[in-house]
Amino acid sequence: MTAWNPDALTKRFLNQAEDTERYLREVRSKVKHTTSYQHVYDEQMARFSVFNYLHGRTFLETQDRLLQELRSLLAGVGPNLNVYDKERFETYRRRCIQQLIDEFSEGTAA
């Protein structure tokens, strides 16, 4: 088992947010010409909203606090962003959060 490392987590979430943002720029140009990219755009916006929220936060100090925050995010409503389908965005956002909860819950009593 590796030691909890808040600095590594914040870098991870920041990198994921930046990577997602770069991909969003690419998808934005494609969606203008091909509407089938709308679902990709909504998914990437959902991922960006989660990862961008998580980096640099004090709740990364402990696994329990991170899990508590993730569960709170899952129970709440996502940000009001300019997406093509708000329901689809919310589905993708919740899926992303649940995957993180599952990842960080491994080996703990949930």
CB contact at 8 A, 67 and 106: no
Average per-residue pLDDT in the chain?
A: 93
Query: 39 CB contacts (<8 Å, ≥6 apart)?
Result: 84, 85, 88
Integer Cα distance of 61 and 48 in angstroms: 21
DSSP 88: H
Compute the distance between CA of residue 17 and CA of residue 25 in angstroms, rounded to an integer. 12
3-state secondary structure 8-44: HHHHHHHHHHHHHHHHHHHHHHHHCCCHHHHHHHHHH
Task: Check whether 46 has a pLDDT greater than 80.
Answer: yes
Task: Please determine, for residue 40, whether its predicted confidence score (pLDDT) is greater than 80.
Answer: yes
Q: Domain limits of the chain? A: 6-105
DSSP 106: T
Is pLDDT above 70 for 108? no
Q: CA-CA distance, 66 to 58, in Å (whole number)? A: 9
Q: Give the pLDDT score at 26.
A: 93
What confidence score (pLDDT) does residue 1 get? 52
pTM above 0.75, yes or no: yes
